Structure 1
Amino acid sequence: MKTQVESDGIVTLTKDGEKQIRNSPLYNDGLRPTNREEHNWTTYNFASLWIGMAICLPTYAMAAGLISLGMNWWQAILTIILGNCIVLIPILLNSHAGTKFGIPYPVYARLWFGSKGAHIPAVARGLIGAGWFGINCWFGGTAIDTLLQSLGGWGSIPGHTWIAFFGFWALNVWISYRGPEAIRRMEFWAAPTLIIMGLALLVWAVTKAGGWGPMLSAPSKLTTTADFLKVFFPALTGAIAFWSTMALNIPDFCRYAKSQKAQVIGQSVALPTTMGGFSFIGVAVASATVVIYGEAIWDPAAVLAKFSPLAIFLGTLGIILATLTTNVAANVVAPARAVENLAPRRMSFGAGAIITGVVALLMQPWYILENFGNYIFLWLGTYGALLGPIDGIAIADYWLVRKRRIHLTELYRPDGMYSYKSGYNMRAIWAMLIGIAVPFVCKQIPGLTIVWDNAWTCGLLISLVVYTWLMKDNPSLMSAADYENITARSAGQRAS
């Protein structure tokens, strides 16, 4: 029986396939495969998604963190661009699966970890998403607090910073609760608005300072190659880890892609250019403030606070918009879907959004951002080491092990071919643990710390190799003939 149909590289369920899974305990409307009409995201939608997510206060501050560690401006910017070009590779590899089969990340994870084991990578990604949600709320809330203080009176209110933070947190949770479809509409018009506001800030800084300022001519404090590499590799891991979360759950968005071409071009153009460009704006504006105000001001809110009341008002709206577009898209969808996947018949996306907001508070973002050392090395570096192996398993499973052949209805059967033993694929669990353990062990061994400094990359490659080897001849694999038996094709469609 044909349970799925492939047309122009997009696989959807047939009516028989839909009937088979509709009553499954692993099914709900948010976790089901998308239908053909829902594949409507264009190249611009993906470009605007990444522009909206990348233009945020953490991006603005990222180059500042690298410069504080001793890099000059161009070393910091190139490190960020290189890191984003590297993480773009797994993003595009995992995007292919989401686009072709229309499944969200937790369902995609059932392939590698099993129907129950999928909670491991889904919750891991979800916890980090919640952490990022809190970080962005703290960035945005404290920025709003700074701007309100500049207007007078607000600073005399007891606990004003916490009021601004919790108010902004509540706004983020409320908008997230409305659901993921709002993301495409919001990003569509937010992306050009944020670009214009960022460029306006850059033009003001260069004009007011009468040039680019002293910071852009300041030499690197890392005078030897050894000194530079000691900072470069963990900084590169931090730059990669910045979006390694999205490398995992990008199927949550690409399941709506109109075509593979649309998602590849949109993401490839927007991600590295926006991250590099907005980081440069942060460096250039901070450099100009040395000339204008006699000190380097890395906080864009502190810069805006020196403007006129109208400019402060517009800047506040810009900060709110920048943080919302990042938080709703990048940091809520994955944890909300993970919560849905825990109990598909009882949990909704809205409930997941609320739980995400609560967990974000418990993770204390104010501590993570206490200094740039915590931000670059503790937060970004550590979770990069945890997610790299999962990225490796995902890539290996789809491209090397299954060769892009998936039986959609089996993903929704608790006792199906992707349930393995009692719902857990122990081969994936072992591959993940090995990929995590090797960098952690190398961190403790003199001379091998470079493995830890590149933990995301090393963990990805280790788990990719181990998982591919462990999954040889696994019963869950389908041959090309098996795939053809369940897949109908539209006229002129060839096997892919």
Structure 2
Amino acid sequence: MKLFQYIPLWWAAVIVVQSMAVAFFAIYPQGELNLLQVIVASLIGTLILGLLFFLNGFPGFEEGIPFAVQTRSAFGIRGAAIPNYLRAIPGIMFLGIGNWIGALAINTITTTLWGFGNLRVYFVLFALLNIVLAWSGVESIAWFDSLSAIVIVVLLSYTAYVILTTRSIPTAPITYGGSWGLPFVGFIAAVGGQLITAALNISDIARHLDTERGSVNLAVGNMLGLVPAYLFMLLVGLLFSVTTGITNPVRAIMAVAPSPLLGAAMLLFAILAQISTNLVNNLLPPTHVFQDSLGVSWKQGLILTSVLSFLTFPWMLFSSALFSTFIQFYSAFLGPIVGILLADYWVARERDTDIESLYNRSDGSKFWFVRGFSVSGIASMLIGVAVSLPILDLSWVIGLPAAFVAYTVLTKVEINEYAANSLSEDRTQAPGGD
């Protein structure tokens, strides 16, 4: 992909209704922050994400390896299944949520304009549409997202214009005292947590980016592709939240529409946004994991991912209480994994990637470690999760640096070598041992 494809691909991928919901639940009266605090936290969160996208995208960008292979150097040939499936699970759940939001938008359009609708039927049809668009692989995903990004940005800009010209922003969210403490940092964590999944498997997309201008392409592509679009989406979510007070983004869109027909046009953005986001963030990662671990084809993986998404009860997940908790909980696991991958690539191995060993699944691989598992990787992840879960509001903000430091220390003291030697000695000393 050239930059003219890569940047709008991420625009389309992050401009999504779920991003509106993140801001919905942060600002007063739904949340504990005032307007200025939410804007500042949104900016900080998006910039941190952009940096994580850039730093963790190097293995894919420079070496062409996908996330499912990237994890082997830090977690072991067999142990890589742990972070891979921890990434796949929220992807499947977000796929279900995305399909449900798309079905809600379609149902709202048909019931408003023509007086009929069937949410369950639309849910199934919307899922099938995603499969069809992803059927030909990453190339079809890139072209669809690049084209739909233009439509999405235009419709979303019009939506913001309608709000600003037809409704007034109440003074309460502006004058409310709010907090620059834990709730403020917690919202930064929520902003990052929404897309920590994409930061984790960024190599799946970065591996397709043109390398002609080196790391400049990676930096420009991720910073311009992520930060402006995601920040814009969070701010539009704020507009909806303070002007309507409606916590369901689909209903809020219809509430601000000057006419049912324009409301239907504005909801078209929600439909396109869910498809484009599903393709990049929710369908592709679990499908790659299933290809790597189960040996299925791309098309078989798509079907398996979609079927599993039906079993996640997305209509229950996408509620004010559960949605925020869902983001915080999975971020407590994925944040530490990001920290471990960064420590492994930039500190432990100093960007030295042995591609041949990564693809060698035998016990002769340098990444076999201890029976196929890396003690340093798994122990560091557990440490990061352990410090994250007690303070779930901060989630990955604590877990990522904790796991980064733990992995750096454990690799310096060569814990894998010590564990492997200990097992070897035990086997030799056991009765009947060689």
TM-score after normalising by structure 2: 0.87
In structure 1, how many angstroms separate the alpha carbons of the residues matched to 2:146 and 2:395?
35
| 1:340 to partner: Cα distance | 0.6
Q: Quote the residue 2:8 is aligned against.
A: 48
**Deviations 1:319-377 (Å, cap 9, x if unpaired)?**
22111111001111110000011133xx112111111112222221111112x22212x
User: Residues 426 and 243 (structure 1 numbering): CA distance in 2 closer, same or farther, change over 3 Å?
Assistant: same
The residue number in structure 2 matching 1:254 is: 206
**Residue 324 in structure 1 maps to residue 275 in structure 2:** yes
Amino acid at match of 2:297: S
**CA deviation string 1:280-305 (max 9, x = no partner):** 223334555x5xxxx75753455347
2:102 is aligned with what amino acid? G
Match of 1:234 in 2: 186
234, 240, 253: which one aligns with 1:279: 234
2:164 to 181, 202, 206: 206
Residues 51 and 122 of structure 1: CA distance in aligned 2, closer, same or farther (over 3 Å): same
Shifted more, 426-435 versus 75-84: the winner is 75-84
Task: Give the superposition deviation at 1:420.
Answer: 1.7
Q: Which residue of 1 aligns with 2:149?
A: 191
Give the CA RMSD over aligned residues: 2.4
**What residue is the counterpart of 1:490 in the other structure?**
none
Look up the equivalent residue of 2:291 and give its one-letter code: E
Which is helix-richer, 1 or 2? 2
Change (3 A) 1:148 1:275: same
- Describe the shift of the 1:199–1:220 C-alpha distance in structure 2 as closer, same or farther (beyond 3 A): closer
CA deviation vs aligned residue, 1:4-35 (integer Å, no higher than 9, x gap)? xxxxxxxxxxxxxxxxxxxxxxxxxxxxxxxx
**Contact 2:23–2:238 (CA under 8 A) maintained in structure 1:** yes
Deviation of 1:264 (Å): 0.9
Are 1:297 and 1:303, in contact at CA under 8 Å, matched by a contact in 2?
A: no
Once the two structures are superposed, residues 255-291 of structure 1 have per-residue CA deviations (whole angstroms, 9 ceiling, x without a partner) of 1121221121121123122112122223334555x5x
- Once residues 235 and 467 of structure 1 are traced to their aligned partners in structure 2, the CA distance between those partners, rounded to angstroms, is 27
From the superposition, tell whether residues 255 and 473 of structure 1 become closer, same or farther in structure 2 (CA, over 3 Å).
Answer: farther
Q: Does 1:303 align with 2:265?
A: no
| CA distance, structure 2, for counterparts of residue 54 and residue 318 of structure 1 | 12
After TM superposition, the structure 1 stretch with the greater mean CA deviation from structure 2, 407-416 or 162-171, is 162-171
CA 193–420 in structure 1, closer or farther in 2 if over 3 Å, else same:
same
Select the residue among 126, 129, 133 that pairs with 1:168.
Answer: 126
Q: Distance in 2 between matches of 1:425 and 1:110?
A: 9
Q: Show the 5 A alignment for 1:460-479.
A: 460-472=400-412
CA displacement at 1:308 relative to structure 2: 4.7
Identity of aligned residues (%): 28
The code of the aligned residue for 2:318 comes to L
Deviation at 1:400, TM superposition (A): 0.1
* Runs of at least 5 residues in structure 1 that lack an aligned partner in the other structure: 1-40, 444-448, 478-496
Tell me the alpha carbon deviations over residues 142-185 of structure 1, each in whole angstroms, 9 at most, x when there is no partner. 12111211123315xxxx22222222122223323332221211
Residue 475 of structure 1 deviates from its aligned partner by 11
Structural mapping, 1:411-430, within 5 Å: 411-415=358-362, 416-430=365-379
**Kindly tell me: are residues 476 and 191 of structure 1, through their superposed partners in 2, closer, same or farther at Cα, counting changes over 3 Å?**
farther
**Residue number in structure 1 paired with 2:286:** 335
Question: Cα offset for 1:223?
Answer: 3.2
Q: Structure 2 CA distance, aligned partners of 1:153 and 1:455?
A: 44
SS at match of 1:453: coil
Q: Per the alignment, in what secondary structure is the counterpart of residue 115 of structure 1? A: coil
Q: Which amino acid aligns with 1:426?
A: V
Q: What are the within-5 Å matches in structure 2 for residues 28-427 of structure 1? A: 41-67=1-27, 68-154=30-116, 160-209=118-167, 213-215=168-170, 217-219=171-173, 223=177, 225=179, 229-259=181-211, 260-285=215-240, 287=242, 299-301=249-251, 303-304=253-254, 308=259, 310-344=261-295, 347-370=296-319, 372-376=320-324, 378-415=325-362, 416-427=365-376
More deviation, 268-277/297-306: 297-306
Tell me the number of residue pairs that the alignment of Structure 1 and Structure 2 aligns.
409
Give the Cα–Cα distance (whole angstroms) in 2 for the partners of residues 359 and 327 of structure 1.
Answer: 14
Q: What is the alpha-carbon distance in structure 1 between the residues aligned to residue 164 and residue 335 of structure 2? A: 39
In structure 2, C-alpha distance between the alignment counterparts of 1:176 and 1:184, rounded to whole Å: 10
> How far 1:245 moved relative to its partner?
0.6
Q: List 4+ stretches of structure 1 deviating above 4 A.
A: 285-288, 295-298, 305-310, 473-477
Alignment deviations for residues 419-472 of structure 1 (CA, whole Å, 9 cap, x no partner) = 2222211221111111111233xx2xxxxx4xx432202211111111112212
**Structure 2: unaligned runs, 5 residues or longer:** 418-434
Q: Which range moves more in the overlay, 389-398 or 76-85?
A: 76-85
Cα distance in structure 2, aligned partners of 1:74 and 1:196? 26
Q: How much does 1:122 deviate?
A: 0.7
> d(CA) in 2 for partners of 1:139 and 1:298?
10
